[in-house]
Chain A
Amino acid sequence: MAEAARARPIPTPETQHFWDGTKAGELRLQRCDACDHVYFPPRPFCPACASRKVSVFPASGKATLYSYVINHRPAAPGFTPPYAIAVVTLEEGPRMMANILDCPQTPEALVLDMPLKVKFEKLDDAITLPQFAPAKA
């Protein structure tokens, strides 16, 4: 039986720069030119002050582990349980969901506030996911 396909994002005009970035090995965020607010997910205006003057910039890729679950069941198609679904806090402020790669998927190994580094996971020619892994000391 063919393995059920993992959920794949479909970029929109407002998010295309983000997905172009991950493909190029960059985690791209947006900053408001008017009020300096850094935000995610992508949109062509500032959700803090409504300015349409915003810039795309590459994030440092540094983050910390904010919270997570280790999902046992039911598992999403394309995933082998148990696997962690995490929310990370980027150095620049915004948070995003990710998996934690190169790390045992256990409460002992996944410690809140541990330092993480972005790691790009290629799904196919169109989509590369931003993921995170423990930062090397």
Chain B
Amino acid sequence: MRRNQVAVVGAAETTKLGVIPDMSQIQLHADAALNAIADAGLKLSDIDGIATAVETPQQIAHYLGITPTWVDGTSVGGCSFMLHVRHAAAAIEAGLCKTVLITHAESGKSMIGKPPRSIPAYSLQGQFEAPFGVYGPPSMFPIPVLRFMKTYGITHEQIASVAVAQREWAAKNPRAMMKDPITVADVLNSRMIAYPFRLLQCCLVTDGGGALILTSADRAKDFPRKPVYILGTGESVETPMVSQMETFDSSRAFKVAGPLAFKEAGITHKDVDHLMIYDAFAHLPLYGLGDLGFMPYEETGKFIADGNTRPGGKLPLNTNGGGLSYMHSGMYGMYALQESVRQMRGIAPAQVKDAKISVCHGVGGMFAASGTIIFTNEK
């Protein structure tokens, strides 16, 4: 894909975030979509492409009253929206549609109008993982981390420092769920969830949504907001079974998606002003820093513990507070994209001064899928 041919011209989250018991999941989609359409100064009839995950594109298109000529229902977990951005950019460049709406919403906390997640007993996960007592992401996503720690000499304190650094970012963000300062000791003394991870190393569970609107860079100039260009993109999948990852020392999906995006963008790591790494659990930023090639894996824990990703650090990471402190409705990728767009527009609550390039890296499932989008505000 060519660089900077497509731009984000509309971006918004749901009016409220957190606990929203008065809206069903599909209405959260609509709330985010209507906010994004207003942000872009568009009418519903201007939208000719639609992408969404979990809910089907036909449900969202019908509910909103949209007649698309391009649809994408890619649903690979929390990074689905990174993949939608990549696919939408390709579709716009190919002339399949002009203006794409990507929506996410989840009634993750209130569970209003949310279909249950279940693992069929005949599936490979149902046969070869579920019988051993896995029960939701906290029992599965951290399974690789003890091996990662042993291989690279990472300490419990270093991983706890991920939550501490992100809480500092969240403290600057009025919409963040958790804003009170925490220490490494607080993290390591919080309630045990699935050893080695404790409560403060696990993401929040909230309600909310977000939507993006993309169009060609040529048209983007005429929109009310500063365009945020798509500089590079990557995607991949590995396996829906955490037990079947090639290795726990890294994520294959990360190692494919991330470098693809960097190559397409034509940038090096020192060009990155702002970074989002989907943090469903506290180990993910360490995997991300290593798999995306920012540094050797051995250095990732120390890098974060030394404060390099905190406010004022040399690599601002998860500046909205992340899934650990901002919000996490279940598929957090949309909120990471929203924060990258805010940073590139220059309107983030914890704005990184003069940031020109933002890398937004997502995960789906338990390292099952990955998508990376690199944004820029300079064409």
Contact = CB atoms under 8 A, between A and B. Distances in A.
Interface in B129-148: 129-136, 138-140, 142-147
B58 interface: no
Contacts of B120: 10
Nearest to A121: B131
A76 B137 CA distance: 12
A75 interface: yes
B139 A41 contact: no
B244 A85 contact: no
In this complex, which of B124, B132, B191 has the most chain A Cβ atoms within 10 angstroms of its Cβ? Answer: B132
Contacts of B193: 72-73
Contacts of A87: 143, 242-243, 248
Given A69-B139, A70-B195, A85-B139, A9 B133 contact: no
Contacts of A83: 133
A87 B148 CA distance: 13
Interface string B191-211: 111111100000000000000
Given A66-B147, A67-B145, A95-B243, A9 B130 contact: yes
Grouping DSSP codes into helix (H, G, I), strand (E, B) and loop, the B interface class, with mixed when no group exceeds half, is mixed
Contacts of B130: 7, 9, 76
A11 B127 contact: yes
A97 B194 contact: no
A57 interface: no
A8 interface: yes
A136 B262 CA distance: 50
A82 interface: yes
A78 B243 CA distance: 21
B223 interface: no
B121 A10 contact: yes
Interface in B98-141: 119-122, 124, 126-136, 138-140
A66 B148 CA distance: 10
B150 interface: yes
Contact of B131 (A9, A67, A75): A9
Contacts of A75: 133, 135
A62 to B, nearest CB: 18
A59 interface: no
Contacts of A68: 143, 146
Contacts of B145: 67
A67 B196 contact: no
A40 to B, nearest CB: 8
Most buried by A among B127, B136, B196: B127
A3 B133 CA distance: 15
Q: How large is the interface on B (under 10, 10 to 19, 20 to 34, 35 or more residues)?
A: 35 or more
A72 B194 contact: yes
A129 to B, nearest CB: 6
Interface in A56-93: 66-79, 82-83, 85-87
Interface string A1-35: 00000111111100100000000000000000000
Contacts of B144: 67
A72 B195 contact: yes
B248 A10 contact: no
Interface in B253-274: none
B126 A107 contact: no
Contacts of A79: 133, 135
Contacts of A127: 131
B162 to A, nearest CB: 17
Nearest to A123: B131
B128 A97 contact: yes
A41 B181 CA distance: 45
A98 B150 contact: no
6 contacts: A69-B196, A78-B133, A79-B135, A82-B192, A85-B132, A96-B243
Given A69-B194, A85-B133, 18 more contacts: A9-B122, A9-B126, A11-B127, A41-B124, A69-B139, A71-B138, A73-B193, A74-B139, A77-B135, A78-B133, A85-B139, A85-B140, A85-B194, A87-B143, A87-B242, A97-B243, A112-B150, A129-B131
Which 4 pairs from chain A and chain B are nearest by CB? A76-B135, A9-B127, A70-B195, A67-B147
